[in-house]
Structure formats: C-alpha cells, structure tokens
Structure 1
C-alpha cells in the first residue's frame, strides 16, 4: 500500500468511525437538554478526557507551539506550567459548587446558571450575548485545521476551511453533547498517542543538554523571562497572567458546562484527576516549538510552525509519509474536539438564553439549536476567510474578554453564600470586559493575557469592595446550593 492510498484510507476510516459514534449519540438525543448536556449518564473518565481534549485542541496542538518557536522558554512556561496550574486550581475551587447549583436549578448553560443564581433575566441576557465572543476561538480552530488539511491533502486553504466546517457540523448536528463526548474520547486517545510520539521523537534536537541548546538559539530564548520578547518578558507576563487568565478561561461555556454532565459529586475526583493528567500530557505538544527552532527551520508564518515542522520531519522517508498521515489526522481531531464543543455550547446559549427569553418557547428547541449551529459556522468561515496575522492573538482578544467578564459573577456565585446585589456582579463584569478590550485594542498592552489579567484584578477588586459594602445584605434564596 502506498503512502498516498494509506492517507486516504485512514482518513476515511476516521470519518466513518466519527459518524458511527455520532449516530449512537443521535439515538440518545431526544430534546434540547440532551443535546446540550446529555442525560447524566456519561462516565466521569470519559467526561474528563472530553474536557482535556476541549481545553487543549488547536491552540495547544497547532497555534501555541508557534509562540514557543518565536519567544522560547518563557512562552512554554506561560502556556504549559502557569496555564496547567490555573486549570487545576479552577476545577478544585469551582467544580463542587457549580455542580450543586447547576443540578438544583437544572441549568443547561452558563447564562442560565447565572439567571438562577442571581435571579435577573437582564444579567443572563448580557452574558448570553457576550458568550458570542467565543466565535473568535472558532475562527482560530478553523484556521488551524485548514492549515493542517493543506499539509495533508493538495488543496487550497479556503477549500480546507469549508471541508472542516462541513465535517464537524455534520456529526455535531446529529448527536449534540453525546456526539461531542464520544468523538472527543476517540480524538483524545489519538491525541495522547501522537503527543507522546512527537515529544519523544523530537528530543534528539536537545543533544542531551536542553538548557545549552535553548541558550544557543539567541539571547533570552532559554530564559524564564525573555527580555527580547514583547509578550513574555517578566514575572507578570509569564507566570501571573498565564495562571490568572487560564483560571478564568475555565469559565468558558464549552468548558465549565462539562461539570453539568456529571452524575453526582461522587464523580468529581475521577473527573478532575482525568482532566489534569491527560491535559498535562497534551502540553508536551508545545515542545514542537523548540524542536522546529533547533532543527533550523525558518518559518515566516508563526501559525504554520507545526505544519512545517511535521512536513520537514516526516516528509523525506517512506515510513515518515505513513506517520505524517496519522499525525496530521490526529492534530485535525484535536481541533475538532474543541470546535464541536464550542458549537454545541453556543447553540444552546442562543436558544436557551436569547431566543426563549425574548420570543418564548413556541419554537422546537432541538431544531432551532441545530439551525443556530449552521449560522455560527457560516459566520466563523466568513471571519476565517482572510484571517488576521497571528490568529492566536486574535482569538485571545475575544475569549479572554469573555473570561474577564465572567470571573466575578461565577467565582462569587459559587463561593459566596449570601445575596450579591446586581450592581456588584454587573459592574465587575463590565469592568473586566471593557478594561481588557480597552488596554489591548488601544495598543497599551500587546499581550491579551496581560490585559485580561489586569482587567480581572480590577474586576475582583471592585467585587470585593462591593461585598464589603453590602456585607449586611439579606441571605440569598440560593444559599442551600452553595458550598460552605
């Protein structure tokens, strides 16, 4: 069998398997609740793998290694070490309380959760609309996946964009959450295998001394704080912003709502343990940025570092061409594992938290959620058709803004037992969103993680002042659902 035939055969086998899993999911999806969060019958280990794959995706597997390639060790620590600690801390702090309130209120989405916690429809509508900022991450994934497809098949990037979207939509439209969970488990296992393989295969470029190899690249490249970098140059930009913004990113709808898949609190330990272990292994993909730099590759487009490295590493031998097909296919699966989750969560938000509150429930929710999926996908392709340079920074502008706006309403909603006035949570949300966008879009702060972290600190400060000013307030009616 030639490598060309093998490439098409494994791709076809992957497509068939994904559609089979989606068909199983479709049989178990009967209504909008099942489409959004399932029927509380998913295994916690499966949910953990699903979540780890959703968190990692195209950012970790395709785009972020480009930052490591350009900025060195400081970028690796920012995304790998500080980010992993942020993820672990977020789930340890939030999981139990969020699940309790979510189960008691039967919430399907984060805006709906916020409505039940604060009992204010206007606040939940505000969050429903700003959750649409997640479309920037859809653009990142579409661009990253299209770059991989062009490395695997002889087609143009715009054609690849459409093919990726059509494929993901076709299986998510069938089964919603079940299709997302089943296919993500398959994709997560594939991602684990390829991550370990690529990490081990590229270690040779360190020549037995990683520190010396990185320092030899250039001044600052092997430093924890890269003084020559405009993004990762001090303790705050490397450690603090990486931890803070990743903690806040766990509040994204396609991530935090995974907690609502759990059957009970007994599953929390298995869920968190699986997520952290699998997610930590996935961060080893960032090493490709080092490998590409040490191999001497000159890559003009930072976003294409992974694609160009793989073609360089595996494209010159017969065995390598077989491996290339498997690796590219797995990296595509990594992107799709997050794209399908975002699409499911966005469609659920639009239907549950925008359409029904504004226009009533006279529409078929399941049908409408699938229509919304198509609309979101079309918008994503339009934005990705002529993508901006450094697509990673573009996506961070939008997603980090959502994270900065969400931190106080969700964190305080889980941890604070008493009633929190609307002006406290809404004010903090507006401060987080506007401060991040103002600092970053004005050019005052180039790194979106830094601008978002400043915004989060301001929002938290405002929130704590608001709590102190209202400490004699009446107990909240949701007090029983919040952990002590």
Structure 2
C-alpha cells in the first residue's frame, strides 16, 4: 500500500502534468486544421524532438511496466530475449527501412500505413484490408491502459476501474484535438523524464552487486537456478534458443512495421534531418529497453513473488516494486516516468488508429454521404468524425482493459502480443517489397499478408506447435512462423508471376 505522502504527492504531480498537457493541446489544436495536420503535424519539429518521440513510442508501458514482470518470473532468459535480441533486430530494421519508407511516403503523400499500402500497390481494396487489420492494434492500447492503471492504482490506493476510466477520459480527450502536433511536444517531455527514470531504476538494485556480478547471479540462483540460465525450460516463453533468439530476431525485424513507429519519420520536413532523428531515437531506445533488467531486482525483493501473504500478479510486480522500494519523492518521479512510458505510445496509437478508421475505413465506405466535403455535402466534418471515433475507441479500451485486469491469461502482454504481432506479420513483406522493389505485382504483397494472418492465428489458436499449446501460448512463435511463411509464399508467387511474364514475352516475340 502506498503511504499517505506518496498519495498526496502523486495527486499534486498528476494535476500539474494535466495542466501542462492541456496548455500544449490547446496550442497544438490551433495548428490542427485538417486530417493531414492531425496525422503528421503542421509544425517544423527538431529531429532530436522527433527522435525522442520515436523512442518514447517504441518503448511503452510494455517495456517499463509489463515486461519486467516476465523477467522477474523467468530470469536472464527473458532479459536476453526482450532486452538484447529483439531490440537489436528492431533497431537494425528501423535504420534500414526508415529512409526508404520516408521517401516513398513523401512521394505518395500517405498519412497512414493503409494509405501507403494502397498508394504503393495501386489498390484501394488492399488499403481497406490493412485499415481493418489495424483494428488489431487496439490490443496494444489495452496493454498500456492496464499498465497505467496498475501503477496509478497502487500509487493512489484507488480502485482500478476508477483509475482506468480517468486515464481513458483524460488521454483520449486531449488526443481528440492535438494529434501529431500535441504528440511530439508531449512525447519529448515524456522521453526526457523516461531517461532520468531509467537510470534511477537501473541503479535501484546497486546493493545486490556488492559482491560483484557473480554475487548477483548467486543470489538469483539461490531462489531458482532457472533464473540464471540463458534459456529457462520451466518458463512459458523462453524455453529454448528457438524462442529466445530465432523468434525474437524475426519478430524484432518486423516489429518496426507498426504505423505509430514507421510513419514517425514523415513528421520530419527535411531529408537531412533523418540521420539525427535516428541517432537520437536509437540511443534512447537502448537505455529504455534495458529497464526490464529491473525485474531481477524485483525478484530479489520478492523471492516468492508474494506480498503480505498474497501472490503478486505478473502485471503488478513492477508497480509493487516501485512503491515498496523508493522513498516518497524519488518514488514519485519514478511513478511519473512509468506513466509517461505508457502515455507516449498510447498517444501514438490513438492518433494512428483513429486516423486510419476515419480516413481509410469510414471515408472510402461512406464518402460525402457521411463526411462533409468542400461543397458542403455530407452530415459531419471529417475532424469531428475523427473525434467521435476516438470516443468509441475509448469505450472499447475501458471494456477490454477491465477484463484483462480482472482475469489476464498470465499477462495482458500475451493478449496484446497476439493482436499486434499478427498485424506487423502481415505488414512486413508488403513494406519490405514496397520500399525496395520498383515494379511488383499486387499478388505478391496480398499473398504474403493473407498467409501471415492465416498462419499466425492458425498456429496460435490451433496449437500447431509445442510452443502454442496449453493455457498460455507464445505469440512470438506464431508470429515468427507467420513471417517466414509469408516470405516463402511471396517469393514463390513472385517467381511464378515472373515466369509467366517471361513466357508471355517469348510467345509474342516474332520468329525470324
């Protein structure tokens, strides 16, 4: 339970932060006059600010609040998987893909991932397919809402449902007006504090190293020898190197293909700013990803993962550690940093998903029968409709998040991974082919996307591997196999199409 001092200080700090955000939102709203402004911004931001915004968006409540619980539960195998292998693959992919995607995005003037797909491959139907597939990102919104609710309810001693509703009303409310203009401002502030909190958290277990690294490892081994292995056969997610390394490399490479990540570079106005943007973002990400190591400190503080005789849920381990470990004012800064970690990505997801639903689903389906055009035809202005979409997303987020708080399947992280991994598994080959191949038939990306979705959900729900059987299944395995299958199918389709084209050319060549 949080002390009275922490409760009062947390309320004061949250109120001050809310006031700052409202001021920034009002300022940003004045610069947001269209869906284009809402999606990619109308202000010229520094590449450092956008880079920090990228880092904050990629490393969310999952990294700071949820994933340390996996490490506390399963040890160094989880750290190797989530803090070393996956980030290394993701940052390499980010570096390779960003510049080419940005150049393509500028050419087709895409505001969303779905629009980029439709414009790149000349298919409105394919754009619509990806727009509907984007709805899977709601699972990630749920993860962040659960993480934020957990840390705030622990810090304020308030029932989770009331905290959840307050978070959704506030965050979804200010994102209705500011869009990308507000998001870069708030993300920059959030990222700076997240850096400070990262160092505080990583230093919070310094006493465990009084006898060096070997002494630290020995303490973990005394609790459970499986905690100090690079694989953990007794875990549900890190049983062998296939799960720990192979799957995480494949997933890490593809994870960049999420709209709130890969489209971030479109906010930059000048091409020469991209390098500074990437350097800033990737440097901050290295520090952020290492925060999951704190899960090992939490395990040393709660060896049997109980508090007061009650078992800790995996999703509340980090929150409980923070409240128990730090004095009031340091704890307050850490709590705020954890909140920022969630808000940074939540804002990006709200902005990208609401834009996709409005511009890529409702507008193509209903046109000026619903959305007012320049001639005044239609029922409602596009920006007003976008705000209504955000309200509906908020209602869905509260409903699904509360279900995950009451009865998670090990962790809300599993729920979120299943949805998000399916999305970027389907997006990986189309993005890769779209930015590197000049001429490609529509059959190639379409076959890859459909294969990825079918394989992912078949493996996960069908229990087609030993890693996806039982009550808790590993979405990373389903995603890795889906991505590999989509690459194989896309390559096969490309070869078949190429062969047919060559045969057609030969058949039309006159015989001399």
Look up the match of 1:310.
322
Measure, in 1, the Cα distance between the counterparts of 2:400 and 2:33.
Answer: 33
**Alignment pair present for 1:463 and 2:490:** yes
Measure, in 1, the Cα distance between the counterparts of 2:267 and 2:438.
Answer: 24
CA contact (8 A) 1:111 1:128 kept: yes
Gaps of at least 5 residues in structure 1 are: 315-319, 475-484
Measure, in 2, the Cα distance between the counterparts of 1:203 and 1:374.
Answer: 45
Measure, in 1, the Cα distance between the counterparts of 2:281 and 2:292.
Answer: 18
- Show the 5 A alignment for 1:441-480: 441-443=461-463, 444=465, 445=468, 446-471=473-498
Question: Match for 2:301 among 278, 284, 295?
Answer: 295
Measure, in 1, the Cα distance between the counterparts of 2:367 and 2:193.
Answer: 42
Look up the match of 1:124.
127
- Show the 5 A alignment for 1:3-82: 3-39=6-42, 41-82=44-85
**Alignment pair present for 1:412 and 2:433:** yes
Measure, in 1, the Cα distance between the counterparts of 2:397 and 2:134.
Answer: 14
Question: Match for 1:358 among 359, 365, 382?
Answer: 365
Measure, in 1, the Cα distance between the counterparts of 2:203 and 2:240.
Answer: 30
TM norm structure 1? 0.93
Measure, in 1, the Cα distance between the counterparts of 2:498 and 2:403.
Answer: 51
Measure, in 1, the Cα distance between the counterparts of 2:349 and 2:302.
Answer: 36
Which structure: larger Rg?
Answer: 2
Measure, in 1, the Cα distance between the counterparts of 2:436 and 2:249.
Answer: 19
Look up the match of 1:147.
150
Structure 1 residues 4 and 351: alpha-carbon distance in aligned structure 2, compared to 1, 3 A threshold: closer
Measure, in 2, the Cα distance between the counterparts of 1:373 and 1:272.
Answer: 30
Q: Which moved more, 1:209-218 or 1:65-74?
A: 209-218
Q: Shift of residue 174 of structure 1? A: 2.1
- Show the 5 A alignment for 1:251-266: 251-266=257-272
Q: Shift of residue 377 of structure 1? A: 1.1
**Alignment pair present for 1:185 and 2:188:** yes
Look up the match of 1:403.
424
CA contact (8 A) 1:225 1:233 kept: yes
Q: Shift of residue 220 of structure 1? A: 2.2
Q: Which moved more, 1:61-70 or 1:263-272?
A: 263-272
Q: Shift of residue 206 of structure 1? A: 3.7
Look up the match of 1:430.
450
Q: Shift of residue 85 of structure 1? A: 1.1
> For 1:134, what is the secondary structure of its paired residue?
helix
Look up the match of 1:115.
118
Q: Shift of residue 222 of structure 1? A: 0.9
Q: Which moved more, 1:226-235 or 1:429-438?
A: 226-235
1:289-314 CA distances to partner (integer Å, 9 max, x unpaired)? 10011123424301101011112212
Q: Shift of residue 349 of structure 1? A: 0.3
1:296-347 CA distances to partner (integer Å, 9 max, x unpaired)? 3424301101011112212xxxxx0222222112211111111111000011
Question: Match for 2:237 among 222, 228, 231?
Answer: 231
Structure 1 residues 265 and 468: alpha-carbon distance in aligned structure 2, compared to 1, 3 A threshold: farther
Measure, in 1, the Cα distance between the counterparts of 2:254 and 2:5.
Answer: 47
Structure 1 residues 115 and 12: alpha-carbon distance in aligned structure 2, compared to 1, 3 A threshold: same
Q: Shift of residue 15 of structure 1? A: 1.3
Q: Shift of residue 264 of structure 1? A: 2.9
CA contact (8 A) 1:203 1:291 kept: no
Q: Shift of residue 260 of structure 1? A: 1.1
Measure, in 2, the Cα distance between the counterparts of 1:398 and 1:150.
Answer: 26
Question: Match for 1:279 among 278, 285, 303?
Answer: 285
CA contact (8 A) 1:219 1:228 kept: no
CA contact (8 A) 1:42 1:262 kept: yes
Q: Shift of residue 187 of structure 1? A: 0.8
Q: Shift of residue 143 of structure 1? A: 0.8
> CA-atom RMSD, angstroms?
1.8
Gaps of at least 5 residues in structure 2 are: 307-311, 373-380, 502-512
Look up the match of 1:219.
225
CA contact (8 A) 1:428 1:460 kept: yes
Q: Shift of residue 5 of structure 1? A: 4.0
Q: Shift of residue 284 of structure 1? A: 2.3
Structure 1 residues 152 and 118: alpha-carbon distance in aligned structure 2, compared to 1, 3 A threshold: same
Structure 1 residues 428 and 28: alpha-carbon distance in aligned structure 2, compared to 1, 3 A threshold: same
Q: Which moved more, 1:384-393 or 1:60-69?
A: 384-393
Q: Shift of residue 4 of structure 1? A: 4.8
